[in-house]
Structure 1
């Protein structure tokens, strides 16, 4: 609209209609929130790129996420996103590492229990289907079974796409199903006993531990997880690097391998080291501490001066072009 037309009746009508449209959109949004019971806090996220939106989502869920440098493999592997269904759950990329160092990536809903999103979890439906396939296999060939020299590929847990995960989230809360998508190979199912044959319930078949990133220890620090907790509850208050790394061990494992330590033990060691440091600092001459502080301040000041000089030189060079 031209500037000369702003003060005319047509211009006023145009502005009025524009403002009225905004008000109607706001009223519709408020009504939608009230009727559908949406979480306003999760839907009023700040604008920005996808990583900024997800960082805000993580903060709302009580999870701290360290970002890996762009281009690193861990950053490329991270497919964590927000569910498109009404409940707006986080669909996490989860790294699973077994006792044999096998590594599996899955896409897992934050609303599912930890044991159900485990790559080796087999739902009752899948188990019955596999049993039927095994029983029907001999009838498919009239002749004797042939033994081939080529090894068969290892089986991995049944996979589901993101759309299947999100479609199931819209169903009633009473119908729970497995929600993960394997994107890398894991342990062969044949190498693990069936829960029914061992007498161990599915949720107690393994013990799960979350890896604590960026510690000062040369051992991997593990945080115990409750298998029946949802992934979202298990991660609340924790820190991950790009996405969670979960180690799993057979339930019969009594002691962790030597390259691991529990978070409780790590915190205890950290506390002891901090106390030793504080005791040492008590014996240091305050004058020495003051000099060290002054030297540090002077060094930072020199760096700032050098930076300013470099900037001035660059400005002069650019001005001469």
Structure 2
């Protein structure tokens, strides 16, 4: 039978048997698996169909052409599924937020958990989420929070504050008010600038003073001695203008580190409150915080909406808070009272329901007694009539 076959129909390897198989890669004809393996070794053929190989339109609109495209698309789909399964099983890759490109120095959930702060995330695209610029410091590694300051007149102010800075110092820095620690050097510079003008004033008063005292001078004194006051007189502070000279001298004298600061440079006292988010109350629930504590200490064990919101009230108005705010202690007491009231209402309703059931049972029992008595009376009348 092999002798009657054409040479083109024979196996391209042994040339003795009619070919049965066609190589997907190069269309070589083989008759058996050993011949196919030998073909792969000789021709260095992979045996895989090339999906990018050009196919004529006449060959594409055939079952073989459709199978070719279907197998190619199915192989891509299987590869994607295999890669996703491997990522899930081996824990490779990253989440969608990380793939989108995190901000440099973004604070992670682990660092927030270590700080003891629960951050409630706002939906993406909202103003609150866009305003949040909280990040991690590249030098010290601490958290730099975006803080919203709300004053008594409801003015809003956003600033970035490190978690290790005291609350009052951070607020003074946000509103641009001088702080005592950083204002010492500035006070010295101002006093040095004012010193020449005060010395000129002293010279002018020293020149004008002899002309005024020349009228009251005694014969024992010479005009020269009166016109030039000695250093001892200035040091003793003698004369009618001694108080003014001493005051000007104290202003000219440079201030040392141990001296007390001027009253104008001391910032007024403020009371700070942290806003508690997502409460059942219609008013804003505020948590009092110490102005000398750091932001890290104030936020530990608390929850914030994207970033903390701090209310600032002057010490004069701390006793009378606005009507739209309530302290956390009063809010918790109110919640406890409402919970107890609800429990009492539920218990009373349950008791009334049980009592209603008992009354219905009692009425049912009484009706049975009335029916039995009526039955006895009817029987007596019947028996009496018979008698």
Residues 71/130 of structure 1: CA separation in 2 closer, same or farther (3 Å cut): farther
Rounded Cα–Cα distance in structure 2 between residues aligned with 1:95 and 1:248: 10
Please give the secondary structure, in 2, of the residue aligned with 1:283: helix
Please give the secondary structure, in 2, of the residue aligned with 1:93: strand
Q: How does 1:178-257 map to 2 (within 5 A)?
A: 196-197=262-263, 202=267, 205-253=269-317, 254-257=319-322
Residues 67/127 of structure 1: CA separation in 2 closer, same or farther (3 Å cut): farther
- Residue 178 of structure 2 is aligned to residue 114 of structure 1: no
- The question of whether the paired residues in 2 share the 8 Å contact of 1:212 and 1:222 is answered with yes
Q: How does 1:55-204 map to 2 (within 5 A)?
A: 55-86=109-140, 88-118=141-171, 119-120=174-175, 121-124=177-180, 125=182, 129=186, 196-197=262-263, 202=267
- Residue 323 of structure 2 is aligned to residue 258 of structure 1: yes
- The question of whether the paired residues in 1 share the 8 Å contact of 2:107 and 2:143 is answered with no
Greater Rg by CA: 2
Residues 270/134 of structure 1: CA separation in 2 closer, same or farther (3 Å cut): farther
- The question of whether the paired residues in 1 share the 8 Å contact of 2:107 and 2:134 is answered with no
- The question of whether the paired residues in 1 share the 8 Å contact of 2:272 and 2:288 is answered with yes
Please give the secondary structure, in 1, of the residue aligned with 2:139: coil
- Number of aligned residue pairs: 183
Residues 127/115 of structure 1: CA separation in 2 closer, same or farther (3 Å cut): same
What is aligned with 2:65? none
Residues 198/280 of structure 1: CA separation in 2 closer, same or farther (3 Å cut): farther
Offset at residue 269 of structure 1 (A): 0.2
Rounded Cα–Cα distance in structure 2 between residues aligned with 1:216 and 1:232: 26
- The question of whether the paired residues in 2 share the 8 Å contact of 1:54 and 1:81 is answered with no
How much is the aligned-residue C-alpha RMSD, in angstroms?
Answer: 3.3
Please give the secondary structure, in 2, of the residue aligned with 1:252: helix
What is aligned with 2:367? none
Offset at residue 236 of structure 1 (A): 0.5
Higher relative contact order (CA 8 A, sep 6+): 1
Rounded Cα–Cα distance in structure 1 between residues aligned with 2:191 and 2:322: 36
Offset at residue 267 of structure 1 (A): 0.4
- What CA deviation, in whole Å up to 9, does each residue of 1:74-113 have, x standing for no partner? 1000011112124x21110000011121111111111111
Offset at residue 255 of structure 1 (A): 1.4
Rounded Cα–Cα distance in structure 2 between residues aligned with 1:134 and 1:65: 48
Please give the secondary structure, in 2, of the residue aligned with 1:277: helix
Residues 196/134 of structure 1: CA separation in 2 closer, same or farther (3 Å cut): closer
- What CA deviation, in whole Å up to 9, does each residue of 1:206-250 have, x standing for no partner? 110001111111111110010111100001011110000001111
What is aligned with 2:108? 54
Q: How does 1:303-318 map to 2 (within 5 A)?
A: none
Offset at residue 122 of structure 1 (A): 2.1
Please give the secondary structure, in 2, of the residue aligned with 1:274: helix
TM-score by length of 1: 0.50
Residues 135/272 of structure 1: CA separation in 2 closer, same or farther (3 Å cut): farther
Residues 134/211 of structure 1: CA separation in 2 closer, same or farther (3 Å cut): farther
Residues 226/54 of structure 1: CA separation in 2 closer, same or farther (3 Å cut): same
What is aligned with 2:340? 275
Rounded Cα–Cα distance in structure 1 between residues aligned with 2:138 and 2:333: 42
Rounded Cα–Cα distance in structure 1 between residues aligned with 2:158 and 2:274: 14
Residues 129/85 of structure 1: CA separation in 2 closer, same or farther (3 Å cut): same
